[in-house]
Amino acid sequence: MRLLILGTGGMANQHAARFKAIEGVSVVGGVDVVPERLAAFCTEHGIANHFLSLEDALAWGEFDAVANVTPDSIHHPTTLQAIAAGKHVFCEKPLATDAAKAMEMTEAIERAGKVGMVNFTYRNSPALQKGRQMVLAGEIGAVRHVEASHLQSWLVGRHWGDWKSESKWLWRLSKKHGSNGALGDIGIHIVDFASYGSGLDVAHVFARLKTFDKAPDHKIGEYDLDANDSFTMNVDFTNGAIGTIQATRTAAGQMDQLRLRVYGETGSVEMIYDTGKSTLRACLGEDVHTATWRDVPFDPVETNYQRFVQAVRAGKTQEPSFRRAANIQKVLDKALASDLSHKDEALT
């Protein structure tokens, strides 16, 4: 499989390294509008072909699939171009900045008969995969209550760099630079994590979003700091269960932690992904009466990168698919609407 990497910012390095490590995959080209960044990226990863526009890359055409690692607002137009050119697409999340665009992309790639998958990176957690299996197998009975959180701290700590001076962080705080804030950036991860891990779909959302004061006049250079930094959601699931989903970039002491607890009528399971480390615990059977939690073993799982390559080779999309990402985007859109309306919003 010949792969083109579109966008050569920070996350593109993960794509290049992960795909190159898969037998039979060649990263044959890179695309970026910033020549210096493109040249450095291609040199680092030994990529022979450099393009300053997607149009030039498509005119060349000597590749099978595109890894779209552009900023969020660029996913929609560039992915549609790649689909029209007959390419498979592995897109960074979110698939698009709203559900209408995401569904347009979904329908386009399904009509084209090409593989379209989205890099929900936390699906790579073996604890999440095993925990979901336990829930779906009925080991905790019918799900009653769900609590989920995604906690980061890069607005209060410098472990990933200085957000006040680095564009790779500042754009995530600015609506005009294509950001939907914490909701769009990490909210999509924790909503997927909660829904996937519990085996349930969200039916209603009541949300609150918060943007904190972070600089004089809420501005640093060209960046208006107006995108949300934290959110909370109260949700109803389609089976009648209820839950809370929250995320923030201001949780000092938490570098990158996703935690999901799923409480059922006969037991509970907890899935944690904390800065690369997965943990799974459960309270089952007689342990329910003593509130005893025990560690649950799990096996390694294939990554999204590996699943995408398998899907292209088989000609059949695997999860997480474009359609899955579009449905998760509907939840985020309703959360934005709920914050404005101060009302419960139903998914349709």
pLDDT tens profile 111-170: 999 999 999 999 999 999 999 999 999 999 999 999 999 999 999 999 999 999 998 899
Q: 234-255 pLDDT, tens per residue?
A: 999 999 999 999 999 999 999 9
Asked whether residue 109 falls in the same domain as residue 142, the answer is: no
Any domain includes 5: yes
Residue 29's closest CA among 67, 3, 1?
Answer: 3
Tokens of 168: 């790779």
Same domain, 33 and 130: no
* Full residue range of the structural domain in which residue 61 is found: 1-119
List, for residues 170-197, the tens digit of each pLDDT value: 989 999 988 889 999 999 999 999 999 9
Domain for residue 312, yes or no? no
Residue 72 is assigned to a structural domain of this protein: yes
Count how many domains the chain has: 2
Is 310 within the bounds of a domain? no
> Running DSSP on this structure, what letter comes out for residue 321?
B
- pTM for the model stands at 0.93
Establish whether the linkage from the previous residue to 94 is cis, with ω within 30° of 0: yes
CATH of residue 8's domain is 3.40.50.720
The predicted structure's pLDDT at residue 178: 81
- pLDDT for 30 beyond 90: yes
72 and 124 co-located in one domain: no
Alpha-carbon distance of 279 to 5, in angstroms, equals 32
Is 311 among the domain residues?
no
Distance set, CA 228 to CA 88, 210, 322, 329 (Å): 33, 5, 25, 16
Predicted local distance difference test score (pLDDT) of residue 179: 87
pLDDT, residue 166, reads 92
**Mean pLDDT, the chain, integer:** 96
Report percent pLDDT > 90 for the chain: 96
Helix (H) or strand (E) holding 41: helix 35-45
**Same domain flag for 206 and 338:** yes
Q: What is the pLDDT of residues 304-317, one digit of tens each?
A: 999 999 999 999 99
Residue 250 placed within a domain: yes
The closest of 282, 289, 319, 279 to 303, measured between CA atoms, is: 319
Identify the burial level of 294 via C-beta atoms within 10 angstroms of its C-beta, where 0-12 means exposed, 13-18 middle and 19 or more buried: exposed
Of 131, 143, 137, 133, the residue nearest 266 (C-alpha): 143
Closest by CA position to 189, among listed 131, 135, 124, 140: 124
Phi and psi based region of residue 178 (left: phi greater than 0; alpha: psi -120 to 50; beta: remaining): left
CA distance 216 to 218: 5
* Residue where one domain finishes, among candidates 52, 87, 119: 119
With bands split at pLDDT 50, 70 and 90, how would you rate the model's confidence at 51?
very high
Q: How far apart are CA 26 and CA 47, in angstroms?
A: 9
pLDDT at 348 over 80: no
